[in-house]
Amino acid sequence: MKIIMLGAPGAGKGTQAIMIADKYGIPHVSTGDIFRANIKNNTPLGQEAKTYMDKGMLVPDELTVKILLDRVAQDDCKNGYVLDGFPRTIVQADVLKDALNKLGDHIDHAINVDVPDENIIKRMSGRRACVKCGATYHIEHVPPKKEGICDNCGEALVLRDDDKPETVKKRLDVYHEQTQPLIDYYNKEGILKNVDGTQEMNKVFEDITKILG
């Protein structure tokens, strides 16, 4: 079972990807994690990616797919995997599709965790973080015992720049421009399924498992 997770930043697709991986016994494959592992282990692919990153350049799609295919060729992926964070654009989706086709392989499901922008902005702007110990909270869903104070270490909680409404809005604009077209792409491929991401986390997961079977 090979799955791609789609959804705007803050929609909760990463959390769902981890839950899917755990339930079905398949790896959660995050492109960020793969890059870090290849660079840390100084692999040939990691060295190549680092040459671009050191110059502040984006890693080319073909190289990203090479690194991804190297990961999913490992034994723990023989029964499938959940892709989180890739593809992000139509070009990347095409490169991935072509590479898998050459291996006689394909993606089985593209799951879109659908959440309206206003919900995401509200959800993310409610996050609070402790700059000392890294603990995270949400003013509505996971509030600290004492408002504005970390339960763990007693330090003040802050709204991170990444979670400020204006920053979230910019990230959503980029998502709609670059990544939203993937929803149409996988719909045409006949493998897209939408789930209502505004529901409680376990209900979203229940809807996904009904799709996956």
Q: Which of 50, 88, 164, 193 is catalytic?
A: 88
The DSSP bridge partners found for residue 3 are: 82, 109
Q: Does the bond joining 87 to the residue before it have cis omega, within 30 degrees of 0?
A: yes
- Catalytic-residue membership of 71: no
Residue 19's SS3 state is helix
Within 143-190, where are the H helices? 165-178, 181-189
Residue that is written with structure tokens 């991804």 in the block: 68
88 given a catalytic annotation: yes
Q: 50, 97, 122, 160: which is the annotated catalytic residue?
A: 160
**Quick check: is 13 catalytic?**
yes
Active-site annotation holder among 71, 123, 127, 128: 127
Judge whether 26 and 83 are in contact, CB under 8 Å: no
Q: In whole angstroms, give the CA distance from residue 69 to residue 82.
A: 13
Measured distance CA(62)–CA(87) in Å, rounded = 12
CA-CA distance, 136 to 143, in Å (whole number)?
9
Say if CB 179 and CB 93 are below 8 A apart: no
Q: Which of the following is catalytic: 50, 164, 171, 193?
A: 171
Among the listed residues 2, 13, 123, 128, the single catalytic one is 13
- Report, as residue numbers or ranges, the catalytic residues: 13, 88, 127, 160, 171
